[in-house]
Amino acid sequence: MGCSSSKNALPESVDFFFNGEKMEPKAEKMMSEYFADSHVLSFIGLYAPPVPPLDKEHLGGAMTSLITSFPDFTFNSTKVKPKKMPDGGWAADIIVMGTHTGAAFTPIPGKLPPVEKTGKQVKIGPETFTLYCDADGKITKTTIRPLSAGAPAGPPGFYTEIGGQIPWAPSPEALFSRVTKIPIKSGTMKDIVKVFTTDAEFKKTVDSFDGFVGVECFQVDDTTIMAHSRWESQPATDAGAAALGKVLKGHLGPFIAGPPDKPWVGPQSMILDCGTSGTPAAYRVVIMKLQDNKEGDILRFASSKLPEFKAIDGLINVTSFMAEDNQAVVLAGYTSKDKLDAATPKIGAIMKEMGQFMAGPPTSFLTEVRWSTFD
C-alpha cells in the first residue's frame, strides 16, 4: 500500500484513484485505505466553483451522494496516466463522468431541490486533478483545477447538467456598487473636473464617507455624467445616497441640471481580467433586464467568453453587479474611447448571444472617464 522505494514511482494509492474504474465498487477501499485522515480536497484556480474545501468526512458524504445518484460515477473515465509534478504531486487532466440513473440528486440537501432521475450522462472536464502523498503513500491532499471558464465543475456541475438551477448569491466579501446617471448643464464638464481635482472641501467631504472604497466619474455626453462608487457593505452603500446628495447639492450644485435618475445598486458578482494592463480611460456600461432566475446562467456564460474578451484590443476588464428588479449592470473598461468604439461589433455579437437570458433589449452607455480615485 505504501510508496515504492523510488521517489518517482507511482504510489499504489494514486494508481488506484486514477485507474479509470467506477467508484462504486472501490469507494470504500479508497476512503479507508488510501486517503489519510487529514485528507482535504479543494477546487482551485480561476474557474473553481463555489465549493468549500472538503475534509475526509465531507468528501465521503459527497462521494456517496454522487454514487447513489450516478451509479457509474467514474473519475478519469478515459484512463489518462498521471505524471509526477515538480511540487511532488501526481497530476492528470481527466474527465469525470456519471449517468443519472439512480436516486434524485442535490449537491446541498435542504437548500437545493433534488432533481429526479433523468437518465442523462454527464461528462465534466478535462480538469487537472493533483494528488499528494505522505511518506506512507496515503493521499493527504487533492486539488481540482477546472480548465475552462464557465464549464460545469464539481457536484454543482453535475446538478446543473441534469437540469438543476442554482440561484445566484453574492460572496460575503463582495463590494457593493452604486451607478448613478446625472444630468449636467451643457459645457460644465471642465468645471466639474476642476472641483474633483482642486477643491479641498470636496476632498474633505469624500474622505468623510464611512465604508467608501472609491469612485469614478464617466461622461456620457455634453449633458450627462455617470458616477460609479464602490462601498464595503450594504449599509455603507445605503449611506452613499446621502453622500451623493451632499456632493450634488453642495460642491457640484451650480453645474447640475436636475435630479439624478434612480441609481443601480448591488453587490459585485463578477470580475474578468482580460489581460490588458492599465487603468480604464473609457467604459461601456450596459444595463440588462434578466429573465427570472437567470443571474447564475448569464454569469457562467460571460465567464465562458473570457477567451473572446481577451482577444479584444484595449479591453482591460469586465466587472458586473446585480441590481434590484433582475438587472445586471456590466462595466467593461478600455484603454481608450477609440478602442471601446472599435470593439462594438464584437461586443454586439456576444450581447446577441446573451439575449437568451434577457427579458428585453439591453441599454448601453459609451463613456469616457473624466475623474477617478482609482490608480
Higher pLDDT, 46 or 363: 363
The mean pLDDT of the chain is 91
20-34, 154-168, 207-221, 275-289 — which is least confidently predicted? 154-168
135-149, 213-227, 354-368 — which is least confidently predicted? 135-149
Q: What are the Cα distances from residue 349, in Å, to 84, 119, 355?
A: 43, 35, 10
Greatest mean pLDDT among 17-31, 46-60, 229-243 lies in 17-31
This prediction's pTM = 0.67
Higher pLDDT, 46 or 269: 269
Residue 111 scores a pLDDT above 90: no
**pLDDT confidence of residue 217:** 96
Domains recognised in the chain with CATH numbers: 12-161 (3.10.450.50), 176-372 (3.30.70.100)
Q: Are residues 372 and 216 in contact, defined by beta-carbon separation less than 8 angstroms?
A: yes
Model confidence at 1, in pLDDT bands (50, 70, 90)?
very low
User: Residue 353, class by beta-carbon neighbours within 10 Å (0-12 exposed, 13-18 middle, 19+ buried)?
Assistant: exposed
